């Protein structure tokens, strides 16, 4: 589906398209005639498929169910506002340079979809392939890096090794003095990686899904999963019972809570992951830079804030806060590598609840309950997977069978032991 | 063949070439106390035989109250866990004595004299230096001589106790972290003035 | 009073005897000590201070405190330069250099202001709707967007200043030193409680310093403040911290504060920090953070010269400057009338009061009218003239429901508009603490509801707006907090306070203009981010109906002021569109920090050499003096190799590696983790933790052990020795030491508490020197008389105590090289002496110091694994071909059951093999991947990767180990390692390359 | 920053502690009797409760002792602290303990068959 130049054409389902011309036209009427990006319908009594969770993954799933599989009687139920979970609070790093083949498979699938997303959704998600650079700070890390780079290359994914001098050129604010505690000894970059405007991803999918008839129902919290025998029959919500033939749960940090409504247990811990932004400043870093050894990563948004993140907090919590030492550690590391940030100021800190799996890989799976599917466990790094995850999850729900990309991520792996352990291998999982 | 006494010994901080001296009105003084005998004592405080045996060897029972210190002429005993104490002494043969005393009991003595070094931080601003990097409440209402604590100081973990009202703190630090701690304390003391003293 | 033509002769708390010179945009001005940059600029008649984010509209000063959205400044130059500071908070000092931001080429003529011309193309969220076609152009558009991003600039290089952190504990922490906070501190302090009182400004007294029309106990308020502060200063347990913003309220009454210790001095005295981060744990917290005045939302309400009414009063009374000579007051409440009176009192003229209320009565209105000031009731400002400074306004009557205007416009000349839209209690910290807010209809504001931590709110931040009530409440809550923290005492009697009586307000969230909203002029809601009332309505129309969507779609409240002046207006306007209650719409989440806080302060002194500890052994100094190259291994610095002059890396390693096998080499192995294990159940414990059998190890004997995680994957390895009855000495990998000790403790305490065993770390107790090679015995024998070194008396895997070079030592005959080898452990203080003695004794045998690289080559020649190199948490012992160490007999050990899953022995797993390159001189890169079916281009299927690879001078060729799929069954196969520039052909072998029979172990 | 009261050392900041996850996961006494699925229950499945949650902490920077905590993971409020090897006494803690699915799991039954106490 290609964008159209004249901006007059409708979206697939009939909503009018966004374009510079539409903008100019609406300017003449003082922007009073814009349509709703998506409707706010009342829930119907029954749907073919209900997606629980209106984050990026859930909305993308609904969109692909409608656009690829032609299922139109779909609802996305969201307990708060769409994109209000981790989709709306992540540091937006997108890359596909993972070590294991299975991971490379799904993240690269996603990255390809990112590359056409704004056009497909007719919503500028500001996907920006500014490159994601990962640093190595010791001989050991250089070797680990080599391993990853080779694997990524042989998987047919772009990846370039960089010397400290090249890194300095690309990221002038980095301290490449070899005498510092964690000297920059090298790095590798995925140039196709980058960032996107996280909120826009939720909105874009919501608008496009709505356009195809998907009901997006906000302020609707799922409180129970209805089953008959071993089969799902619907959901209980704070707005009443809604029947469904199939239910796909995509609730990230709350997956354990929803699973227990169906009598299931997941191998997932919900932990706070924190991030923060500085005040906006004039552009000073154009690449996303991650560093394992010092546990921090940085990028600069299109508005000018420096966006910082670090590792996950140590204890389970649903409070979306997290502990201050994590922030102190992250910022000390930031100053160590980027001395100029010392005099800048933290504008806002926040936390999200991430769903971490023992092997740091996601779950895209059928469950012991017929017609009930889970997509979760993306932990600290699922934003980048949003389109790919939605795409294969829709496929799983539609066909009741995982495709080749999704198959390795089944729940069964915890029983068989065929884990996809991205811990030891990948380190920072963003 | 060399004789033990004539061999060069190196303390954890010797490689830093620390210069003794500094302003006489310094707000804090720093001293390394390197080779005092230090033993980890393990045992069950509920075992009367054990506490008696320890008392026999050290002249004092190991404290049962968390975070407290008992002392005798021979030794100071710091509570570090419900079944663990740190023993300081000038008696280089104490490990053997104590091991013998608790033999046959469910107890253990481990020599850790070199595993650690001890840094004394003293002076009217010693508390101000400590609280820069330590989250323990060291206000006199809460902490004083006879009390000890294990916690973070800067980015490392230490065991310290207060030895007088000056105040003075005896900070036990793992030898490989001692350089860091020393630099950290010296830097923290700059605003108050720092004098380095030799162990006396 | 050169140039300060707006200075009021007899008002203000500035020190007129201390003139201060500063520059703004290169031009020099004078102010007085006690001025903020804002007040000093006002004194000099400067009102154009900055440009807005999106439209580059000219902006002036809105407020007098930390809520300022407009007057943002780049302060100072070079590495001390700091962006986005609020002029309203900068205390001036001699030589201060300030510059405006976000404009080019200069503030008055800013090219970016063309955005303002095309503003109609840029409604909220416009970028989501465009720049999509053609796709490839987005990067170019984005480049332009990015270029325009940001406000100020980061400094060019490293921060020269010092930052401190301090931990503090309080019975009662009081935030805010206005009347309520001071009262709370007095009451709490009197009980003897440990009190901390913090205020973000440079002066105690809060709003009291801005008032001239009230009294406390018959005294001027400033007097009462002085006396109260003096009283507090005399209390030994009360700590007063000025210039300290409490930035965050975290779990369990943990708060952070940022103290600006020496910013106001220009330069910090030596060793004095610029700023200090306070980390405070308080038993009770009393919030007394006051209230922030709301702007009114009317046409072009952002022009320089439009100011908050209370700010005008502050400038007049506290700083003695006149923000305008002729003022129009625009208000919906009585408080602004105090401003009118204050202005009159200071010889400023009030041209008119425009009040949206339909009828205004009461003492303040009477007083104003008595001065002859016109009050336009039920009126609104419908237009503002003057772009870079207000010149006049037009005023019209409101219609019946306040949504439109009627009649004719009256023009009023003025150079200042003082506006007041009511007050928002500063509930930020309360809300951060997870307290629930409630809506107060009378105030039309959110006030604290149910608290969820040990805190109380008092004064204006609690919605208690009167002075007398604030004092009384402060005293009460201060005493209460102290009592709850365990102190005895009652609240002192409240002082008598008088102030003008005030009536109610009329919340009118949008003042209608002459045209429909959004058609002529702009009604700004968020000044910094250029969000207008029309944008808010547009977002709601488009379906962004949650307040959180509104925020993210329009960026309301996302600026450096975090919406202190805009959020409530925005959500009220939203609720109006949604026809919903304001409380049902709710607020966005309040997050730390309250005002932006310096990154350097969070970092403190953890920079440079104090960033993280570097651990060194006692032999490190010898290695350093002898030219070793080092590598980081975890936190440790280890000697990597010892190049001789002119040697390359490879030459040095080849030499070291050969020297060990031919003669003798010496390695500092002190970093290995060491754990002393004692107790009658020690053997049983080891038996459960390790995969192999441990119940029958004799005294003086050593055994290699492998530890698994419960999932069956290799976790650590090392040699453990029985050094006495029920007494073991365990060694671990360098990086694994701390983990292993915690692992043992955890299993013991949580799973097998019945086992009698104790663990203690002794890593640094011992300096460890490994001496390897056929001649090592001869070297040792020279230094050691009390040990029989014969192979029979001192066999492989045995330990003996003895004296080496006069030093009491434990000698372990263990080997990581396959050579005859001893690891000599001595008390750490003698480590260097031992090393030097060995070097001396070894001279005649050409003893060669070597580092970690040579160690790695030597062990690889023998096929010994390194945990963390051959393993990565996904490798089990069977994969490594180490079935021999996994007991089949033991009923259980950690990880056993997991190994029994079918997948763990699957022939398809990645298994450890050796690889020999076709060309013996080619050394594979570690991390290279092995493929079976070579393709001209990626992607191609990978079998696994090279884990270790070296040139082995002893084998005369390169050697490598790899983990590859089904590796154990592939011995003899030819495979390929495709690299970027070439493909290396390899043959799969056993992962062992040298001394296959193990003949060298006895020397 | 949570304030956690070590049963021995008293209240300390959370960064002095090491988090040990869910409490009362009994180690099966006869693992060989369990199916792979049942073993996975013990090894990988989490309770991950939102609300009162029984968990383990160790005072790693202090006395290195392990203990149990009842914490509300929705609010981070600490409800109860109790020693290793004992059961919670607070109503919230008891309810959380009794409601835990593990009580019915095969791994738990296997563990109980062999040992008692913890
Ligand atoms: C601070 C932070 C930084 C991160 N950085 C990155 C990064 O740089 N790159 C990256 O790739 N990933 C990153 N991530 C991870 C990424 O954000 C997530 O993996 C991803 O967004 C998950 O998307 P989702 O749609 O599955 O979940 P969410 O966006 O969390 O959506 C789940 C939705 O389910 C809803 N829900 C929950 N329970 C119920 C219920 N009972 N009924 C109805 N609805 C319910 C929630 O309200 C929520 O909206 C980060 C995460 C955080 C917190
Ligand atoms: N007319 C009105 O409606 C109105 C409005 C506001 C205040 N008042 C008057 O204010 C008085 C109430 O005084 P009060 O003490 O409640 O408020 P206050 O405004 O006098 O004092 C609040 C103090 O808190 C400080 N502060 C705010 N946030 C802080 C933070 N995060 N960290 C550190 N300091 C912080 C401010 O700098 C200020 O000094 C009464 O006299 C009342 O009449 C009246
Ligand atoms: C990439 C990114 C950029 C952000 N930039 C800003 C910003 O400029 N200003 C701001 O106030 N918050 C910014 N935020 C933080 C959000 O305001 C918000 O705190 C975050 O999405 C979490 O939501 P919550 O705080 O409402 O829980 C940003 C967040 C992200 C993920
Ligand atoms: Zn403790």
Number of residues that make up chain D:
118
For residue B75, the enclosing domain spans 37-111
Q: What is the pLDDT of residue D114?
A: 63
Q: What are phi and psi of A272, to 5 degrees?
A: -75, 140
Per the CB < 8 Å rule, is D1 touching A321? Answer: no
Q: Which residue's structure tokens are 């599989």? A: A69
Q: What is the pLDDT of residue C2?
A: 57
- Candidates A89, A296, A346, A408: best to mutate against C (most CBs of C within 10 A) is A346
Q: Write the DSSP string, C268-298.
A: PPTT--SEEEEEEEEEEEEE---EEEPPP--
Please state the pTM of the whole predicted model. Answer: 0.97
In short, whether A307's Cβ falls inside 6 Å of ligand 3 is: yes
Helix (H, G, I), strand (E, B) or coil at A80: coil
Q: Which residue's structure tokens are 């940001």? A: C150
Domain pair C620-671+765-790+802-858 / C906-1002, same fold? no
| Spatial contact of A294 and A182, defined as CB atoms under 8 Å apart | yes
Task: Please give the CATH topology (third level) of the domain spanning C163-291+425-498.
Answer: FAD/NAD(P)-binding domain (3.50.50)
Answer whether residue C565 shows pLDDT above 90.
yes
Q: Tell me which H or E stretch contains C189.
A: helix C179-190
Number of residues that make up chain C:
1003
Question: Mean pLDDT score of chain A, rounded to an integer?
Answer: 94
B45 C-beta neighbours (distance < 10 Å), count: 18
For residue A393, give the nearest of A100, A5, A63 by alpha carbon: A63
Is the model more confident about A269 or about C130?
A: A269
Contacts of B3 in chain C (CB under 8 A): 806
ipTM: 0.97
Answer whether residue A293 shows pLDDT above 70.
yes
Contacts of D62 in chain B (CB under 8 A): 149-151
Nearest bound ligand to the CA of residue C243: 2
- Kindly report the CATH number assigned to the domain that includes residue D15: 3.30.2270.10
- The rounded distance, in Å, linking the Cα atoms of C899 and D39 is 11
Give how many domains chain D has, as a whole number. Answer: 1
Chains touching chain D, criterion 3+ CB pairs below 8 Å: A, B, C
Of C73-82, C145-154, C446-455, C990-999, the one with minimum mean pLDDT is C145-154
In short, whether C14's Cβ falls inside 6 Å of ligand 2 is: no
Band of the pLDDT at C1, cuts 50, 70, 90?
very low
Which among A266, A321, A323 has the least Cβ separation from residue D46? A266
Q: Which CATH architecture has domain C674-761?
A: 2-Layer Sandwich (3.30)
| A-C contacts at Cβ under 8 angstroms | 326
Q: Which residue's structure tokens are 């469904």? A: A244
In short, whether A384's Cβ falls inside 6 Å of ligand 3 is: no
B106 shares its domain with B130: no
For residue D61, the enclosing domain spans 3-117
B172 shares its domain with B186: yes
Q: Which residue of B has its CA nearest to C676?
A: B110
- Kindly report the CATH number assigned to the domain that includes residue B175: 3.30.1360.120
From B95, B111, B127, give the residue that closes a domain. Answer: B111
B63 shares its domain with B95: yes
| Spatial contact of A373 and A396, defined as CB atoms under 8 Å apart | yes
- Candidates C688, C749, C893, C894: best to mutate against D (most CBs of D within 10 A) is C749
- The rounded distance, in Å, linking the Cα atoms of C650 and A304 is 47
Band of the pLDDT at C23, cuts 50, 70, 90?
very high
Distance D76 CA to ligand 1 centre (A): 20
Q: What is the pLDDT of residue C127?
A: 87
B99 shares its domain with B121: no
From B78, B96, B111, give the residue that closes a domain. Answer: B111
Answer whether residue C115 shows pLDDT above 90.
no
Q: What is the pLDDT of residues C726-738, one digit of tens each?
A: 999 999 999 999 9
Q: What is the pLDDT of residue D115?
A: 52
Band of the pLDDT at A428, cuts 50, 70, 90?
very low
Residue B68 forms contact with D (CB below 8 Å): no
Ligand 3: nearest atom to the Cα of A280: 8
- The rounded distance, in Å, linking the Cα atoms of D92 and D71 is 9
- The rounded distance, in Å, linking the Cα atoms of A414 and A358 is 9
B119 shares its domain with B172: yes
Q: Is residue B85 part of a domain?
A: yes
SS3 sequence of C826-868: EEHHHHHHHHHHHHHHHHHHCCEECCHHHHHHHHHHHCCCCCC
Q: What is the pLDDT of residue D116?
A: 45
Q: Write the DSSP string, C662-714.
A: HS-EEEE-TTSEEEEEESTTHHHHHHHHBSS--TTPPTTEEEEEEEE-TTS-E
For residue C126, give the nearest of C55, C69, C56, C58 by alpha carbon: C55
- The rounded distance, in Å, linking the Cα atoms of A76 and A63 is 10
For strands C821-827 and C766-772, give the pairing: antiparallel
Report the gap between the CA of D47 and the closest CA in chain C (Å): 18
Per the CB < 8 Å rule, is A316 touching D55? Answer: yes
Residues C148-175 have a mean pLDDT of 95
Q: Is residue B15 part of a domain?
A: no
Q: Which residue of A has its CA nearest to D15?
A: A325
Answer whether residue A1 shows pLDDT above 60.
no
Residue C117 forms contact with A (CB below 8 Å): no
Give how many domains chain B has, as a whole number. Answer: 2
Q: What is the pLDDT of residue A424?
A: 59
Q: Which token pair is C399? A: 């219609």
Band of the pLDDT at C144, cuts 50, 70, 90?
confident
Which among C82, C256, C874 has the least Cβ separation from residue A343? C82
Task: Please give the CATH topology (third level) of the domain spanning C295-421.
Answer: FAD/NAD(P)-binding domain (3.50.50)
Residues B13-38 have a mean pLDDT of 95
**Is 3.10.20.440 the CATH number for C1-159?**
yes
Band of the pLDDT at B1, cuts 50, 70, 90?
very low
In short, whether A93's Cβ falls inside 6 Å of ligand 1 is: yes
**Is 2.40.30.110 the CATH number for C906-1002?**
yes
Report the gap between the CA of C140 and the closest CA in chain A (Å): 10
- The rounded distance, in Å, linking the Cα atoms of A364 and A383 is 15
Q: What is the pLDDT of residues C840-877, one digit of tens each?
A: 999 999 999 999 999 999 999 999 999 999 999 999 99
Task: Please give the CATH topology (third level) of the domain spanning C620-671+765-790+802-858.
Answer: Gyrase A; domain 2 (3.30.1360)
Residue nearest to atom 6 of ligand 2 (CA): C291
Q: What percentage of chain C has pLDDT greater than the value 90?
A: 94
Beta bridge mates, A243: A46, A234
Report the gap between the CA of D5 and the closest CA in chain C (Å): 12
CA distances from residue D19 to A79, A256, A354, C746, D42 in whole angstroms, order as listed:
30, 19, 17, 11, 18
Domain boundaries along the sequence of chain C:
1-159, 163-291+425-498, 295-421, 620-671+765-790+802-858, 674-761, 906-1002
Beta bridge mates, C7: C321
Q: What are phi and psi of C1000, to 5 degrees?
A: -90, -5
Q: What is the pLDDT of residues D4-34, one digit of tens each?
A: 999 999 999 999 999 999 999 999 999 999 9
Of A318-332, A336-350, C106-120, D99-113, the one with minimum mean pLDDT is C106-120
In short, whether A345's Cβ falls inside 6 Å of ligand 3 is: no
B56 shares its domain with B30: no
From B77, B111, B145, give the residue that closes a domain. Answer: B111
Burial of C499 (0-12, 13-18, 19+ CB in 10 A): middle
Q: What is the pLDDT of residue C267?
A: 85
Q: What percentage of chain B has pLDDT greater than the value 90?
A: 95
| Spatial contact of A254 and A268, defined as CB atoms under 8 Å apart | no
Helix (H, G, I), strand (E, B) or coil at C198: strand
Band of the pLDDT at A6, cuts 50, 70, 90?
very low
Report the gap between the CA of D95 and the closest CA in chain C (Å): 22
Q: Is residue B52 part of a domain?
A: yes
């Amino acid at each position: 589906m290609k964008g159209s130049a004249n901006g007059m054409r409708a979206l697939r389902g009939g909503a009018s398209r966004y374009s510079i011309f539409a903008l100019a036209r609406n300017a003449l009427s003082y922007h009073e005639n814009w349509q709703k990006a998506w409707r706010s319908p009342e829930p119907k009594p029954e749907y073919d498929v209900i997606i629980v969770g209106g984050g990026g993954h859930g909305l993308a799933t609904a969109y692909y169910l409608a656009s690829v599989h032609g299922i139109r009687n779909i609802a996305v139920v969201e307990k708060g506002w769409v994109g209000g979970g981790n989709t709306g609070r992540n540091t937006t790093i997108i890359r596909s340079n993972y070590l294991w083949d299975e991971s490379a498979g799904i993240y690269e699938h996603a990255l390809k979809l990112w590359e056409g997303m704004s056009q497909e959704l007719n919503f500028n998600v500001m996907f920006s392939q500014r490159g994601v650079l990962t640093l190595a700070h010791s001989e050991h890390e250089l070797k680990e890096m080599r391993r990853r780079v080779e694997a990524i290359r042989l998987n047919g994914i772009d990846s370039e090794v960089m010397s400290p001098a090249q890194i300095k050129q690309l990221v002038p604010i980095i301290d490449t003095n070899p005498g510092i505690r964690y000297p920059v000894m090298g790095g590798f970059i995925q140039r196709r990686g980058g960032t996107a405007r996280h909120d826009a991803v939720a909105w874009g999918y919501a608008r496009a899904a709505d356009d195809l008839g998907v009901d997006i129902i906000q302020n609707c919290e799922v409180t129970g999963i209805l089953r008959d025998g071993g089969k799902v029959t619907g959901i209980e919500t704070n707005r009443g019972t809604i029947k469904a033939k199939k239910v796909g749960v995509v609730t990230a940090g709350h997956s354990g809570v929803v699973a227990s409504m169906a009598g299931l247990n997941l191998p997932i811990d919900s932990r706070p992951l924190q991030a923060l932004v500085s005040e906006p400043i004039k552009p000073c870093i154009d690449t996303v830079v991650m560093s394992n050894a010092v546990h921090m990563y940085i990028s600069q948004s299109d508005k000018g804030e420096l966006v910082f993140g670090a590792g996950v907090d140590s204890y389970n919590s649903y409070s979306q806060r997290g502990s201050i030492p994590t922030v102190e550690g992250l910022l000390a590391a930031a100053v160590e590598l980027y001395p100029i940030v010392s005099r800048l100021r933290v504008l806002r800190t926040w936390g999200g609840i991430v769903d971490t799996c023992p092997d740091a890989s996601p779950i895209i799976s059928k469950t012991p309950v017929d017609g009930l599917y889970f997509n979760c466990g993306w932990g600290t790094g699922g934003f980048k997977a949003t389109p790919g995850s939605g795409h294969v999850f829709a496929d799983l729900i539609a066909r009741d069978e995982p495709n080749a990309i999704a198959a390795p991520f089944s729940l069964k792996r915890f029983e068989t032991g065929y884990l996809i352990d991205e811990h030891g291998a990948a380190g920072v999982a963003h | 063949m060399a004789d033990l006494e004539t061999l060069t010994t190196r303390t954890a901080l010797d490689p830093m070439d620390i210069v003794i001296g500094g302003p006489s009105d310094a707000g804090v003084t720093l001293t390394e106390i390197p080779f005092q005998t230090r033993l980890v004592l393990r045992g069950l405080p509920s075992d009367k035989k054990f506490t008696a045996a320890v008392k026999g060897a050290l002249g004092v029972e190991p404290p049962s109250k968390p975070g407290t210190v008992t002392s005798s002429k021979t030794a100071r005993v710091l509570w570090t866990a419900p079944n663990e104490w740190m023993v300081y002494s000038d008696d280089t043969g104490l490990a053997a004595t104590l091991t013998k005393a608790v033999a046959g009991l469910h107890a253990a003595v481990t020599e850790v004299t070199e595993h650690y070094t001890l840094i004394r931080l003293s002076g009217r601003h010693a508390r101000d230096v400590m609280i820069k990097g330590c989250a323990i409440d060291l206000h006199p209402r809460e902490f004083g001589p006879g009390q000890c604590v294990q916690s973070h100081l800067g980015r490392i973990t230490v065991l310290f106790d207060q030895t007088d009202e000056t105040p003075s703190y005896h900070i036990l630090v793992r030898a490989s972290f001692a350089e860091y701690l020393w630099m950290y304390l010296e830097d923290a003391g700059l605003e108050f003035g720092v004098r380095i003293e030799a162990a006396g | 009073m050169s140039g300060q033509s707006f200075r009021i002769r007899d008002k203000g708390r500035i020190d007129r005897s201390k003139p201060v010179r500063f520059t703004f945009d290169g031009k020099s001005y004078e102010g007085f000590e006690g001025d903020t940059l804002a007040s000093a600029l006002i004194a000099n008649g400067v009102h154009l201070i900055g440009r807005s984010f999106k439209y580059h509209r000219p902006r002036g000063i809105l407020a007098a405190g930390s809520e300022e959205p407009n007057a943002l400044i780049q302060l100072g130059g070079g590495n001390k330069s700091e962006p986005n500071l609020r002029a309203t908070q900068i205390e001036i000092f001699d030589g201060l250099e300030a510059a405006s931001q976000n404009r080019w080429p200069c503030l008055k003529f800013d090219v970016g202001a063309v955005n303002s011309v095309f503003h109609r193309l840029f409604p909220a969220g416009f970028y989501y709707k465009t720049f999509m076609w053609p796709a490839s152009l987005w990067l170019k558009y984005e480049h332009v967007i990015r270029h325009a991003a940001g406000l100020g600039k980061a400094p060019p290089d490293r921060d020269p200043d010092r930052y401190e952190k301090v931990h503090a504990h309080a019975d009662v922490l009081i935030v805010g030193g206005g009347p309520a906070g001071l009262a709370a501190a007095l009451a709490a302090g009197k009980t003897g409680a440990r009190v901390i009182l913090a205020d973000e400004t440079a002066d105690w007294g809060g709003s009291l310093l801005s008032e001239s029309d009230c009294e406390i106990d018959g005294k001027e308020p400033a007097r009462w403040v002085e006396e109260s502060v003096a009283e507090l200063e005399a209390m030994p347990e009360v700590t007063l911290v000025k210039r300290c913003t409490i930035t965050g309220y975290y779990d369990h009454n943990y708060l952070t504060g940022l103290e600006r210790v020496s910013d106001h001095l220009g330069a910090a005295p030596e060793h004095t920090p610029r700023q200090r981060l306070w980390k405070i744990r308080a038993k009770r917290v009393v919030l007394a953070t006051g209230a922030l005045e709301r702007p009114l939302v009317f046409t072009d309400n952002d022009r320089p010269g439009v100011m908050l009414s209370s700010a005008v009063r502050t400038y007049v009374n506290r700083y003695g400057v006149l923000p305008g000579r002729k003022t129009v007051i625009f208000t919906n409440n009585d408080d602004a009338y105090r401003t009118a009176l204050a202005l009159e009192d200071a010889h400023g003229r009030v041209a008119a009061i425009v009040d949206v209320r339909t009828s205004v009565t009461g003492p303040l209105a009477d007083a104003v009218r008595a001065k002859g000031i016109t009050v336009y009731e039920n009126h609104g400002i419908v237009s503002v003239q003057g772009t870079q400074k207000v010149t006049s306004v037009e005023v019209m009557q409101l219609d019946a429901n306040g949504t439109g205007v009627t009649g004719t416009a009256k023009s009023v000349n003025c150079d200042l508009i003082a506006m007041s839209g009511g007050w928002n209690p500063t509930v930020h910290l309360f809300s951060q603490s997870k307290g629930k807010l409630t809506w107060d209809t009378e105030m039309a504001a959110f006030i604290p509801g149910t608290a969820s931590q040990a805190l109380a709110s008092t004064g204006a931040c609690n919605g208690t707006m009167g002075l007398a009530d604030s004092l009384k409440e402060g005293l009460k809550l201060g005493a209460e907090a102290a009592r709850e923290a365990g102190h005895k005492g009652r609240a002192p009697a409240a002082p008598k306070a008088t102030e003008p009586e005030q009536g109610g307000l009329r919340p009118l969230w949008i003042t209608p203009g002459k045209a429909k909203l959004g058609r002529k002029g702009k009604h700004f809601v968020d000044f910094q981010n250029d969000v207008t009332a029309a944008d808010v309505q547009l977002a709601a129309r488009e379906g962004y109906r949650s307040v959180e969507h509104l925020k993210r779609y329009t960026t309301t409240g996302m600026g450096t002021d975090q919406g202190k002046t805009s959020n409530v207006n925005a959500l009220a306007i939203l609720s109006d569109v949604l026809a919903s209650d304001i409380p049902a719409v709710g607020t966005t989440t309040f997050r730390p920090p309250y005002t932006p806080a310096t990154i350097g302060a969070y970092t403190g002194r953890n920079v440079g050499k104090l960033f993280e500890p570097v651990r060194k052994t006692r032999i490190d100094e010898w290695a350093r003096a002898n030219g070793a190259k080092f590598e980081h291994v975890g936190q440790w610095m280890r000697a990597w190799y010892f190049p001789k002059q002119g040697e390359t890396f490879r030459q040095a390693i080849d030499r070291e590696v050969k020297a060990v096998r031919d003669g003798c080499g010496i390695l500092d192995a002190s970093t290995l983790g060491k754990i002393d294990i004692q107790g009658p159940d020690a053997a049983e414990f080891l038996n459960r933790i390790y995969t192999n059998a441990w119940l029958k190890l004799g005294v003086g004997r050593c055994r290699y052990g492998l530890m698994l995680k419960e999932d069956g994957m290799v976790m650590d390895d090392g040699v453990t020795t029985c050094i006495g009855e029920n007494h073991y000495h365990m060694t671990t990998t360098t990086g694994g030491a701390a983990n292993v000790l915690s692992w043992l403790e955890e299993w013991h305490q949580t799973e097998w508490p019945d086992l009698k065993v104790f663990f203690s770390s002794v890593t640094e107790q011992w300096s460890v020197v490994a001496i390897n090679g056929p001649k090592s015995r001869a070297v040792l024998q020279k230094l050691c008389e009390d040990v029989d070194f014969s192979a029979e008396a001192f066999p492989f895997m045995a330990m003996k105590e003895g004296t080496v070079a006069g030093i009491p030592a434990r000698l372990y005959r263990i080997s990581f090289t396959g050579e005859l080898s001893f690891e000599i452990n001595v008390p750490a203080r003698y480590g260097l002496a031992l090393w030097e003695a060995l070097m001396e004794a070894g001279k005649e045998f050409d003893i060669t110091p070597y580092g970690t690289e040579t160690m790695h080559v030597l062990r690889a020649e023998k096929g010994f694994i390194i945990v963390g190199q051959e393993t990565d948490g996904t490798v089990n012992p069977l994969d490594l071909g180490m079935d021999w160490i996994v007991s089949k007999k033991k009923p259980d050990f950690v990880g056993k059951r997991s190994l029994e899953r079918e997948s763990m022995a699957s022939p398809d797993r990645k298994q450890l093999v050796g690889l020999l390159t076709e060309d013996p001189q080619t050394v594979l890169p570690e991390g290279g991947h092995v493929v079976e079916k070579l393709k001209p281009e990626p992607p191609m299927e990978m079998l696994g990767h090279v884990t270790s690879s070296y040139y082995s001078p002893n084998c005369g060729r390169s050697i490598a180990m790899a983990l590859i799929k089904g590796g154990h069954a592939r011995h003899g196969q030819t495979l390929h390692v495709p690299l970027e520039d070439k493909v290396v052909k390899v043959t799969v072998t056993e992962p062992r390359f040298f001394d296959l029979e193990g003949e060298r172990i006895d020397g | 920053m949570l304030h956690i009261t070590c049963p021995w050392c008293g209240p300390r900041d959370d960064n002095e502690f090491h988090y040990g996850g869910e409490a009362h996961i009994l180690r099966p006494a006869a693992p060989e009797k369990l199916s792979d699925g049942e073993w996975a229950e013990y090894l990988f499945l989490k309770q991950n409760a939102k609300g009162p949650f029984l968990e383990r902490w160790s005072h790693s920077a202090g006395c290195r002792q392990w203990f149990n905590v009842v914490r509300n993971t929705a609010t981070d409020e600490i409800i109860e602290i109790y020693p290793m090897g004992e059961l919670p006494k607070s109503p919230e803690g008891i309810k959380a303990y009794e409601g835990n699915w593990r009580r019915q799991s095969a791994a738990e039954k296997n563990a109980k068959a062999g040992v008692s106490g913890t």
